[in-house]
Every structure is written in structure tokens, then in C-alpha cells.
Amino acid sequence: MEVLNSLSLGQILERGARFVPDKIAVVDGEQRKTYSELNTMTNALAASLAKIGFKKFGQGGLVELAKKDQNRERIW
């Protein structure tokens, strides 16, 4: 468990998708998602955000949107 504490959520999802893809990762009421499904969804979200100008900024899910007018918005 100590190793998992040093990983980001994204890294945990990627490892789950690689080693136990069909195992349930999250449950919300009646909905269940496997590690593979969740990893696919997060990758699609990241690609969509990158397409509109978001970029990865450090660790922990911080992203930054660079605007042409030099203003920046940060989203946690």
C-alpha cells in the first residue's frame, strides 16, 4: 500500500488498467466502471481538454489554459 501512496490517481488508474483491466475500479449507485473503462474515459477527457488548449501543469491534476491575450486561468 505504501507504493500506492506515492502514485498519482492517474498512475493508479493506468496501473489498474494494465494489470487488472476488468476489475471494478469505482461504484456509484448502480453504475460500475472497470479500470479499463475508467482509464479510457479519463484519457478521452484529457484529449478533449488538450484539444481546446488545456495543458498538464505539474502533478496532482492542475491544468492551465493559456489564452492569446496573455491571461491565464487555473483550474484545480
pLDDT of residue 45: 84
pLDDT of residue 38: 92
pLDDT of residue 58: 55
> Are 23 and 34 within 8 A, CB to CB?
yes
What's the pLDDT band for 30 if we cut at 50, 70, 90? Answer: very high
Q: Tell me the domains of the chain and their CATH numbers.
A: 2-75 (3.40.50.980)
Is 62 a residue whose pLDDT tops 50? no
47, 20, 45, 44: which is closest to 34 by C-alpha? 20
Residue 69 backbone dihedrals phi, psi, to 5 degrees: -85, 15
Length of the chain as a residue count: 76
